């Protein structure tokens, strides 16, 4: 609870100094951060029931500008595959959170889920739309949860595939229009046509 109070104070201060505090605090990333903080503050009432939501704090870490800058400087592999690594990390967090939700709501699944491993199995089979059928939701709410896992999971998979297979981009702000992502061999900005001098290592 003490840690939750500290994080809540940091959360409030971070948004209080912005021009539009409510708008900045209502973004999905900030709401996920707040949900993780509330599980710490309410831990005596929750009795570990929603503790898995604390992994949502990882999203704040992944989107930290300081961490991203440090990784770009120190890890060549991250610099080349930043979009794919971020998409993969978000997919892992989604799987972890949805597995926790399924485990906590296992009574909606019509039996078959007895531990976290069973919940992970159901989440992955729903997410990949494999649907082996040995664990089948009986309640409407359970079926809607499975539909949400399928739709959100497919979206995250597509985002990861797009990051893996689309042409490599480099971060370099266009001096005229400010477009930041360009093809690695770009000579002109594709948004405004301005000449861009993207530094490279001659490889």
Number of domains present in the structure of the chain: 3
Helix (H, G, I), strand (E, B) or coil at 170: strand
Residue 133 placed within a domain: yes
Residues 92, 142, single domain; the answer is: yes
Residue 162 placed within a domain: yes
Residues 86, 100, single domain; the answer is: yes
Residues 23, 93, single domain; the answer is: no
Asked whether 95 and 127 are in contact (CB, 8 A), the reply is yes
Confidence of residue 20 (pLDDT cuts 50, 70, 90): confident
Structure tokens at 176: 């005229």
With a CB cutoff of 8 Å and minimum separation 6, the contacts of 46 are 39
The domain boundary, picked from 35, 63, 91, lies at 63
Confidence of residue 30 (pLDDT cuts 50, 70, 90): confident
User: According to the model, what pLDDT value does residue 68 have?
Assistant: 67
Nearest partner of 98 among 114, 75, 121, judged by Cα: 121
Residues 92, 155, single domain; the answer is: yes
Residues 58, 5, single domain; the answer is: yes
pLDDT in tens, 37-72: 887 787 766 665 566 666 666 666 666 656 667 776
- Domain hosting residue 28, numbered range: 1-63
Residues 88, 151, single domain; the answer is: yes
Rg (CA), the chain: 21
Residue 72 placed within a domain: no
Residues 14, 59, single domain; the answer is: yes
Q: How many residues does the chain have?
A: 203
Residues 149, 176, single domain; the answer is: no
pLDDT in tens, 121-150: 998 888 888 877 788 888 888 889 888 888
């Amino acid at each position: 609870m003490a840690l939750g109070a500290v994080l809540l104070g940091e959360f409030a201060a971070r948004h209080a100094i912005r021009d539009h505090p409510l708008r900045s605090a209502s973004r999905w990333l900030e709401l996920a951060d707040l949900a993780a903080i509330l599980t710490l503050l309410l831990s005596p009432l929750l009795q570990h029931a929603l503790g898995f939501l604390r992994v949502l704090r990882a999203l704040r870490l992944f989107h930290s500008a300081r961490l991203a800058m440090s990784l770009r400087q120190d890890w060549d592999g991250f610099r080349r595959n930043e979009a794919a690594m971020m998409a993969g990390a978000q997919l892992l967090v989604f799987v972890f959170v949805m597995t926790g939700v399924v485990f906590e709501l296992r009574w909606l699944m019509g039996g078959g889920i007895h531990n976290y491993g069973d919940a992970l199995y159901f989440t992955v089979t729903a997410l990949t739309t494999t649907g082996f059928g040995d664990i089948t939701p009986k309640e409407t709410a359970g079926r809607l949860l499975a539909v949400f896992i399928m739709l959100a999971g497919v979206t995250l998979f597509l985002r990861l595939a797009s990051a893996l297979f689309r042409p490599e981009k480099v971060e370099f702000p266009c001096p005229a229009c400010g477009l930041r992502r360009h093809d690695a061999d770009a000579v002109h900005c594709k948004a405004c046509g301005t000449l861009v001098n993207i530094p490279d290592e001659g490889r």
